[in-house]
Structure 1
Amino acid sequence: MCGIVGFSGKQQAAPIIFEGLKHVEYRGYDSAGIAMINDGQLHVNKDIGKLNDIERKCQLRSMIGTIGIGHTRWATHGGVTKENAHPHTDCNKTIAVVHNGTIDNFQELRKELSERGHIFSSETDTEVIPHLIEGEMAKDLSLREATANAISKIEGSFAILTICAKEPDKIIAARKDTPLIIGISDSEVFAGSDGLSFPNYVKQQVRLDDGEIAVLQSGNVEFYNASGKKIHKERQKLDTAWSGTEKQGYKYYMLKEILEQPEILESAAQQNKELFTSIAMDVLRAEQVVFTASGTSRYASLVGRYMISKVGKKLCEIMMGSEFHYFVDSVDKNTVVIAVSQSGETADVIEGVKRARAVGARIVSVVNRPLSLLADMSQRVILLNCGPEVGVAATKTFLGQLIVFYLLAFSMINSFDKAVETIKGLRNDVFNTIYWNNEKLRVLSENLCRRKDFYYIARGINFAIASEGALKLKEISYIHAEGMPAGELKHGTLALIEPGTPVIVICPNDYTYKETLSNAIEAKARGAYIIAVSDIENEIYDYWIKIPAVDELLYPLVTIIPLQLLAYHIAVSLGLDPDMPRNLAKSVTVK
């Protein structure tokens, strides 16, 4: 969940590394640092906080040298302290390492290294790596050889970049189960967790595979396999569509990405008919179909399951990403696994997919990021076509996932073209939902932002939207919020309703309307403040969030948008940064 960046070339490296870190700061923003080599000396500068704050304190951009590595951290092992910030060094302060991932056996390694006289200055798992490399280099091995030996002792996941003052013109890059990309341009080479970290002029990339090592040196790069044999790897074009990460005048990425959703209807619907038809046939033929996903992607999968059941008449199971691998004994070659992950890097999802694939299951991935780990593991890949999503709280990619599932469901009845037309025709409805509600929800948020508890209720296909709406609020405002089936409110949760408690009711004019309204009336009788998301006004509402009338299967695509806006405005009203909520990161690459 951390972001790492490396650069080797003729320019000053620090400004390039700093800008790269800015573009992957969504992966972690507890602390950050840069290590450089200049005149044969290793220099490390790091601190806690966001990058801009650290720059003001430490002048990261002013560090001197043409080779260096950088890191922005999401804390996993050890608290948010300067000592725990990356880069980490060895005893002699000649080796520096940045790392994304988790080392499962770091306690054993740390004990062994301490007994040999190594001194540690942090609580992190990462710090064992430079000390391991130090020990291997003492055997007169090169930095590459020492790094290879060091990582052979590591259990867990890692993407690492290493520099050493004894070999001042090299960066060693290595990975296992965590993404790492090499960027190539004229006389310059880059390494990063994500191609977003590369300057716009970088047009070629190479993805490292598990166990591989890259040596970046003087603007060139060489690749080695796990056995230490030099190998050739094909360069791929770096998609320039993934360079559009500017705020374009908006204060926060989250608002920009919410307001982009009318356009997402068009881009996400630009799909390959043959691919969808083929996947639809696989789903229909499979003895069992399992969705696996986490967080927002799991709520999208709940909607997808409903659509596939309602339209395609196929019942599917949904497993949380972190739980799926415990149930792989029930998976076989007659199973289709639909793995859903915005980043394609979600560690929990990837672990389950690995095990399912090992027993013969067919894997379909639904991802936003091309060339992701999950995509590589899949027989078929559906791209969301949403472009970069920088805000930690998913918005437009959730809509993209709903669109993909709608198209897949109708592909099961040979109606792909009609479904695409229907989705594209929804553009004005999505635009109107934003236009009608954005400013009103800003005002409402100022009245609600001090409330301690919110409850979101709905029935049927809308229940997943209630859950996603609650997730958005607690992610970025730190307010307790709970989404639940409306019929469950009276089975315990109603005891928590006090006068003025906000209850958000998702009650469009569909088959769930009357029963959901009845549950809202029950809550109102206990003093709840009823906020209704509906295309029908009703006197029981204390506040009405108006949405357009659409087909019942399309309501999730419009009801979610005002809930995203409400969460955003409440967070801003509280003076919080919705793009970088505390304790969270965009790509969850640890289990």
Structure 2
Amino acid sequence: MCGIIGRVGDGDAIDTLLTGLENLEYRGYDSAGVAVQNGAGIKVQKRSGKVQELKNSINGAPLEGRVGIGHTRWSTHGPPTDENAHPHTDSTADVAVVHNGIIENYATLKTQLREQGHEFTSDTDTEVIPHLIQQYLDEDMENEAAFRRAIERLEGSYAVAVMFSGEHVIYAARQGSPLVVGIEDDEFFLASDVPAFLEYTDSVVYLEDGDVAIVEPDGVEFTDLDGNAIVREPETVDWDPEQAGKGEYDHFMLKEIYEQPTSLSQAIEGRIDPETGSIDLDGFPAGTFEGVDSVQFVACGTSYHAALYGSLTLTQAGVQSTALLANEYSVSAPPVDENTLVIAVTQSGETADTLSALRKASENGAQTVTVTNVVGSTASREADDTLLIRAGPEIGVAATKTFSSQAVMLTLLGQRITADVRGEESVGDLSPLLSDLERMPDQIESVLERSAAREIAEEYDGSQSYFFIGRGLGFPVALEGALKFKEITYEHAEGFASGELKHGPLALVTPDTPVFAVFTGVEDEKTLKNAEEAQTRGAPVIAVCPEGHPATDIADAHLEIPEADSDLAGLLANVQLQLVSYYAADLLDRPIDKPRNLAKSVTVE
């Protein structure tokens, strides 16, 4: 949600800022703006709507400068208008600010500032920041001191970047909202996410809560809020800049669906050995989870479905496990102690609800692990251990390749946990599972080449509702299939445990309600019976299963998947459901990569 870009260096910053904003469009936004300065004052241009509208407004405008900040805004306080777009300035236009997060005490600060004569022109919480800074400047504080004092007054979550008139410096601070610095030889960047500047540099420093970065033409200084120097070493992001582009595909989502053979190969590389039946997860040797007597997964959205997948594999192996929505964890979490393992699943490593749940678990003494896609993310720094899914950058708002990589890595992690909790003999011979996993990238390639998803999307275009059902590990896949469909088509879709159809949802079934039934090889006869119950009430049934499966005899349509271990079959079915969602949304001419009201990374609770 929201995006920040900043740049300090030689030459004009405008093109770099606009490129950065375009690279951040996937995060979700409803307005955009930039501010630059060349030593003679700050110039601001901002617009509600898309970055292209901002670019159109800049054409011919006298806007240039070596230092600049930009922002894509997701509306929280105030509607998406030109006035509410960032950057915001003080009344003298000597201070410009961009901000992600929520200032919880903004109303109190705004009242105090108004009493001191400040006039506000927007409905945002952000505007209090430049006015606070202006207040301290009026008290004869230097720029840096005024910035630090203003930041001290803020309560809530924030990533803030500030520019002062006449000074070629960007001041930045973070608390609860991601911020990363990019370092090149003679150019420095600041952003909410690495893809903003990935084409310029892969050397990054992730700021931690309480950090301040002072970005100048000759380098970056890192301090705490009190001004004490701190050390933050650069890391190299192992992402190819070309991965952040669409290439030959019409949409990032389709590109990322087709990248799953590669992303899964990257996820398992060096981690499995089918011949010996062994798993080697970096940082998780035998005995890592000795003493654990229960496991809790916390996650949101697609990551929650992956967490549910991981939880079910553990439960089936005899380990006490549950998957919980991270945004409900603060009010409904089961008790935890030092024998509880809490696994936070988050693609970005910055999901606010998941971070909150992770922190609560840590405070109560639980052992914590995060499963994430981003090196150096907040979750990876705060958890006791990190398991990277190595999926590469995912730009489409609707998660695809990260779900499959998360589910696979949680399946492997589950084997390590089971061996430590119940003994090595409890996991049995893993060679068949690992052999199937090694074949999985090729099997997904086969699914992609032969899928009938486009034809099925066309056949059922215009239906009233779309139901997805599955049993066991097919259940989280059904939930994920429905989520993908509703996210990008805007059509009504719901996922159910197969057996739950007759406990209420069957009342909604009509001939205008196609039912996608996922078969994983576990109790398929029961899922088939549930599908037939819907079919007898007129609903068309689309079976997602291997060729020759009994379901193909009764189904109205078939999405074929290869034969696979039951722990993995659902993930092959998931690829077919992703394709159905994509083609259905394309038929409806939806903005597939940027669905309305949604953001890639939800960084506020």
Following the alignment from structure 2 to structure 1, what is the Cα–Cα distance between the partners of residues 264 and 331? 36
Contact 2:152 2:225 in 1 (8 A): no
Following the alignment from structure 2 to structure 1, what is the Cα–Cα distance between the partners of residues 412 and 601? 26
- The counterpart of 1:429, out of the listed 418, 443, 449, is 443
Structure 1 residue 280 displacement after superposition: 6.7
1:305-344 alignment to 2 at 5 Å?
305-311=311-317, 313-327=318-332, 330-344=335-349
Following the alignment from structure 1 to structure 2, what is the Cα–Cα distance between the partners of residues 219 and 24? 26
Aligned residue number for residue 73 of structure 1? 73
Name the CA shift for 1:567/1:58 in 2 (closer, same or farther; >3 Å). same
Structure 1 residue 443 displacement after superposition: 2.8
Residue identity matched to 2:295: V
- The counterpart of 2:497, out of the listed 470, 475, 485, is 485
Name the CA shift for 1:320/1:215 in 2 (closer, same or farther; >3 Å). same
Aligned residue number for residue 276 of structure 2? none
Report the 3-state secondary structure (helix = DSSP H, G, I; strand = E; otherwise coil) of the residue aligned with 1:229: coil
Aligned residue number for residue 405 of structure 2? 400
Instruction: Indicate whether 1:409 and 2:414 are aligned.
Output: yes
Contact 1:184 1:190 in 2 (8 A): yes
Report the 3-state secondary structure (helix = DSSP H, G, I; strand = E; otherwise coil) of the residue aligned with 2:15: helix
Contact 2:199 2:241 in 1 (8 A): no
Structure 1 residue 417 displacement after superposition: 7.1
Contact 1:533 1:545 in 2 (8 A): yes
Aligned residue number for residue 500 of structure 1? 512
> Could you list the runs of 5+ residues in structure 2 that have no partner in the other structure?
272-278
Instruction: Indicate whether 1:352 and 2:357 are aligned.
Output: yes
Contact 2:198 2:241 in 1 (8 A): no
Following the alignment from structure 2 to structure 1, what is the Cα–Cα distance between the partners of residues 469 and 231? 55
Instruction: Indicate whether 1:369 and 2:374 are aligned.
Output: yes
Name the CA shift for 1:550/1:136 in 2 (closer, same or farther; >3 Å). same
Aligned residue number for residue 577 of structure 1? 591
1:100-499 alignment to 2 at 5 Å?
100-165=100-165, 167-241=166-240, 244-270=243-269, 272=271, 273-275=279-281, 278=284, 281-283=287-289, 285-311=291-317, 313-327=318-332, 330-411=335-416, 412-413=418-419, 419-437=433-451, 440-499=452-511
Name the CA shift for 1:240/1:444 in 2 (closer, same or farther; >3 Å). closer
Q: How far does the alpha carbon of each residue in 1:301-334 deviate from its partner, in whole angstroms, 9 at most, with x for none?
A: 11111212224x2120211110112345712222
Q: How far does the alpha carbon of each residue in 1:425-466 deviate from its partner, in whole angstroms, 9 at most, with x for none?
A: 2222211212221xx322332343322311111111101110
Following the alignment from structure 1 to structure 2, what is the Cα–Cα distance between the partners of residues 60 and 339? 48
Following the alignment from structure 2 to structure 1, what is the Cα–Cα distance between the partners of residues 347 and 258? 19
Contact 1:174 1:214 in 2 (8 A): yes
Following the alignment from structure 1 to structure 2, what is the Cα–Cα distance between the partners of residues 279 and 342? 23
Contact 1:27 1:73 in 2 (8 A): no
Residue identity matched to 1:268: A
- The counterpart of 1:512, out of the listed 523, 530, 540, is 523
Residue identity matched to 2:498: A
Structure 1 residue 58 displacement after superposition: 3.3
Following the alignment from structure 2 to structure 1, what is the Cα–Cα distance between the partners of residues 249 and 136? 50
Instruction: Indicate whether 1:547 and 2:561 are aligned.
Output: yes
Name the CA shift for 1:15/1:354 in 2 (closer, same or farther; >3 Å). same
Contact 2:398 2:593 in 1 (8 A): yes
TM-score, scaled relative to structure 1? 0.95
Residue identity matched to 1:507: F
Structure 1 residue 282 displacement after superposition: 4.1
Following the alignment from structure 1 to structure 2, what is the Cα–Cα distance between the partners of residues 403 and 386? 11
* Larger mean Cα displacement after TM superposition, 149-158 or 442-451: 442-451
Name the CA shift for 1:556/1:448 in 2 (closer, same or farther; >3 Å). same
Report the 3-state secondary structure (helix = DSSP H, G, I; strand = E; otherwise coil) of the residue aligned with 1:426: helix
Name the CA shift for 1:331/1:191 in 2 (closer, same or farther; >3 Å). same
Structure 1 residue 507 displacement after superposition: 2.5
Aligned residue number for residue 21 of structure 2? 21
* Identity score, percent: 40
Residue identity matched to 2:438: K
Residue identity matched to 2:362: R
Structure 1 residue 574 displacement after superposition: 0.6
* Larger mean Cα displacement after TM superposition, 463-472 or 46-55: 46-55
Report the 3-state secondary structure (helix = DSSP H, G, I; strand = E; otherwise coil) of the residue aligned with 2:174: strand
Residue identity matched to 2:59: Q
* Larger mean Cα displacement after TM superposition, 566-575 or 231-240: 231-240
Following the alignment from structure 1 to structure 2, what is the Cα–Cα distance between the partners of residues 443 and 61? 49
Following the alignment from structure 2 to structure 1, what is the Cα–Cα distance between the partners of residues 216 and 23? 24
Following the alignment from structure 2 to structure 1, what is the Cα–Cα distance between the partners of residues 61 and 403? 36
* Larger mean Cα displacement after TM superposition, 448-457 or 244-253: 448-457
Following the alignment from structure 1 to structure 2, what is the Cα–Cα distance between the partners of residues 237 and 173? 21
Name the CA shift for 1:349/1:505 in 2 (closer, same or farther; >3 Å). same
TM-score, scaled relative to structure 2? 0.93
Name the CA shift for 1:277/1:180 in 2 (closer, same or farther; >3 Å). closer
Name the CA shift for 1:468/1:280 in 2 (closer, same or farther; >3 Å). farther
Contact 1:183 1:198 in 2 (8 A): yes
Name the CA shift for 1:128/1:271 in 2 (closer, same or farther; >3 Å). farther
* Larger mean Cα displacement after TM superposition, 138-147 or 7-16: 138-147
Contact 1:35 1:87 in 2 (8 A): yes
Structure 1 residue 263 displacement after superposition: 1.8
Report the 3-state secondary structure (helix = DSSP H, G, I; strand = E; otherwise coil) of the residue aligned with 2:6: strand
Following the alignment from structure 1 to structure 2, what is the Cα–Cα distance between the partners of residues 218 and 277? 39
Following the alignment from structure 1 to structure 2, what is the Cα–Cα distance between the partners of residues 575 and 197? 27
Q: How far does the alpha carbon of each residue in 1:463-495 deviate from its partner, in whole angstroms, 9 at most, with x for none?
A: 111000000011111111110111111112111
Structure 1 residue 300 displacement after superposition: 0.7
Aligned residue number for residue 526 of structure 1? 537
RMSD value, Cα: 2.0
* Larger mean Cα displacement after TM superposition, 269-278 or 130-139: 269-278
Aligned residue number for residue 578 of structure 2? 564
Name the CA shift for 1:62/1:329 in 2 (closer, same or farther; >3 Å). farther
